[in-house]
Structure 1
Amino acid sequence: MRSTTNYLFCFLEIFSSEGGIQSYVRDILKAYVSLTAAANSPPQAQVLLLRDSPDCKNPYQSKNIKFYYLKTDRPWLGRLKFATILLSCLVQKRPQRVFCGHINLAPLIQTLCRPLGIPYTILTYGKEVWEPLAPKYQTAMRQADSIWTISRYTRDSLRDSFAARTCQINNLNPEKFPIVPCTVDGNIFTIGPKSQHLLKQYNLINAKILITVARLRSTDIYKGVDVTIQALPQIAKTFPNVKYLVIGRGDDRSRLAQLAADLGVAERVIFAGFVATENLAAHYRLADACVMPSQEGFGIVYLEALACGVPVLAGDADGSADPLQDGKLGWRVPHRDSAAVAVACIEMLKGKDKRCDRDFLREQTLARFSFESLCQSLEEIFQASDTPKNG
């Protein structure tokens, strides 16, 4: 990365809420800071945050990175401030590239960048770009210099969509769609014994434990917590001591609790609520299996569980193919099929499959998805983007 590089990053939010996208974006920023720290004259960067406020804890604060916190009580005012500061940065700083952190920001960035001749990159994750997009978003993506994708599934979905819209099947430049995968901190998520304190806290002593870490929002039913609850009666026939620890918060919790009661498994389902990142690893280690039959753009949860040596179950038609390495490291089942989830969970709890070898799971995961591998990928992409293109 050249020392003269000047980048502008635009995100919806990073610090004010939890989720896979927020975690991914934080890793991108952390990698950027790491890559630029050793430079004699570190490159400058500006970061615009539409929904974050100045009181957010920010571990990436640096004299070489200026953060703009634009959250307001009135959303329209925040959007106006965002657009005003974005235009000011573009005109005054003339960044070499703008990184658009969400498709919702893309039309504005396209409108302001194109007349100024400033290239922009759009970061994509999963569901937000899997479905057909409105024309203004299609235009913004078509005119983007590049589109980062989080997994092969999202990349292929985007490329197929581009081909269908433009009638170009063989002329899509693969360099326009680099994959920038998620990462896991192997120093935090480690193999270890089950915490006796937590086992007592959740009444899990002598239980076979399934775990899910996910938002419990009514808009995120696809995470599959309800499907796993529906599978519990069948699993209990083989493992009468099975219990299901659900970590996460949201407005769908009451529906899920009622579903467990209706199925007669309420005593088996423990809703732990929100767990801070620094305490997640200890909770993963409680589990005999991590279960999330979902539709994910990637699924950072799977990496965290695998790095802790915990067997995992995911959906079979989404970006989870990457962390599970096409089934080498876990079970992939139809994401709304409770019978298939039950069968897979029973196999996982028996623990006889190679995909239950904790050391193997951790070793294979860190070999491909460590923070160092992310830094290497980003350095190659930044270097390519810094190279002037002929013609």
Structure 2
Amino acid sequence: MPVKVLFLTLKTFSLTGGIEKVCRSLSRVLYDLSEEGIVQSTVYSMYDKNTDRDSRYLSKNQFRGFEGKKERFVIQSFLAGLKTDVIILSHIHLINNVYFIKKIHPHKKIYLLAHGIEIWKKLSDAKLKMLNQLDKIICVSEFTAQKVMDMHHIPTERIEVLNNCLDPFYHLSTEFEKPQNLLDRYHLSNKHLILFSLSRLSSSEKYKGYDHTIELLPKLLESYPNLVYLLAGKWDAVEKKRLDDLISKNNLQNHIKMIGFIDEAELTEHFLLSDLFILPSKKEGFGIVFIEALASGLRVIAGNKDGSVDALRGGALGVLVDPDDQQEILASISPLLGHAQTQQEKKNLQEKCIHAFGYANYLQSFKNTIINTTIN
């Protein structure tokens, strides 16, 4: 008999953030396990529409979007949850939905995906009580796992670390030339050295480290006058003003391009365009963007104080730096810019990334988790 699995999400297809990417990959896992006859799966999304579903990840009869109708979502999740063996929550905000299910059926398995900052925060006593009743908290990195144990005193045996994977449909390039269309779009040439960061640019999240990179640019330009920094991602007005002032203060208007939102279809091309991806953050739960860059053969510099350590395999796949040490960041950037990667080096980096974070490994790990559910 297949294990009946209900996966509850906030958004899966209507946004392209890190949590949504995890939800899509897990949806595909449940689809594949359904095809194997191991599970019978359903995905409920609170905010997506039915028409948001991407047919590559799961079939029409496996998905239901509730278009932000919260009461209907809660009621239907409760009723469906009573008939399933395993409930997987994509976010701590959904924990209230399953509290009474666990009360009625204490042996029903309920798992929570723990990504990062959303679960590191102080929780209410009621939510903390619910958290302690879950059967397993699946953390995306060792850093997130440690945070959950330290902050919420969850026993080790109920914590599992499962690193995020590359999206099963992520475009893997077999050629590593810089795309001419993007060189033209940004008025660049093959003579330019290109630093690249991709992050949400939010005034409430000043821990990504892109401002540190801006401050280091004048020093880097002394050795690399053809250096250009592409800073990508949606911004809010307050953060845009702060960064514009910082750029102006350092007279960097000709060397920094804030290029805004990047469509998923062009993500790989932007990595191919660049010579180095840098995001020395301090509060990254994991950092899917790092493995996407690596899968495109692009070298990465990340911070050594958060989940980025897992994404770079402790430094085996990239350079880890103290995000608070400007000199260390500078010393890491310079030698990388001084060495142009060969096509073979890019290919090797891509292969290492796929070996570490390919979808097949992720599928197998979840398969083991589901099989263990039926055994226990």
- TM-score of the two chains, using structure 2 as the length reference: 0.91
TM alignment of 1:150-299, pairs within 5 A: 150-162=140-152, 165=153, 172-174=155-157, 176-184=158-166, 185=168, 188-190=171-173, 192-205=176-189, 206-251=191-236, 252-294=239-281, 295-299=283-287
Q: How many residues align?
A: 367
- The runs of 5 or more residues in structure 1 that have no matched partner are 73-77, 167-171
User: 2-side partners of 1:116 and 1:228: how far apart?
Assistant: 52
Q: Which residue of 1 aligns with 2:51?
A: 55
- Offset, 1:21: 0.9
Q: 2:80 aligns with which of 89, 93, 98?
A: 89
Q: Could you tell me whether the CA contact under 8 Å between 1:6 and 1:44 is conserved in 2?
A: yes
Query: Deviations along 1:280-299, whole A, 9 cap, x unmatched?
Result: 11110111100111121111
Q: CA RMSD in A?
A: 2.2
SS of aligned partner of 1:68: strand
TM alignment of 1:340-351, pairs within 5 A: 340-351=328-339
Query: Deviations along 1:84-140, whole A, 9 cap, x unmatched?
Result: 11222134xx10011111011113322333223332111101111223322222212
Q: Which residue of 2 aligns with 1:169?
A: none
Q: Which residue of 1 aligns with 2:110?
A: 120
- The runs of 5 or more residues in structure 2 that have no matched partner are none
CA gap of 1:367–1:43, structure 2 versus 1, over 3 A, is: closer
Q: Could you tell me whether the CA contact under 8 Å between 2:198 and 2:231 is conserved in 1?
A: yes
Q: Could you tell me whether the CA contact under 8 Å between 2:301 and 2:319 is conserved in 1?
A: yes
Q: Which residue of 1 aligns with 2:354?
A: 366
Which residue identity lines up with residue 179 of structure 1 in the other structure? Answer: V
Q: 1:333 aligns with which of 321, 336, 339?
A: 321
- TM-score of the two chains, using structure 1 as the length reference: 0.87
Name whichever of 247-256 and 376-385 sits farther off: 247-256
Q: Could you tell me whether the CA contact under 8 Å between 1:306 and 1:365 is conserved in 2?
A: yes
Q: Could you tell me whether the CA contact under 8 Å between 1:195 and 1:286 is conserved in 2?
A: yes
User: 2-side partners of 1:327 and 1:146: how far apart?
Assistant: 28
User: 1-side partners of 2:87 and 2:169: how far apart?
Assistant: 31
SS of aligned partner of 1:158: helix
Query: Deviations along 1:146-189, whole A, 9 cap, x unmatched?
Result: 11010111112222334xx47xxxxx353x22222111258613
Which residue identity lines up with residue 228 of structure 1 in the other structure? Answer: T
- Offset, 1:330: 1.4
Which residue identity lines up with residue 206 of structure 2 in the other structure? Answer: I
Q: Which residue of 2 aligns with 1:70?
A: 66
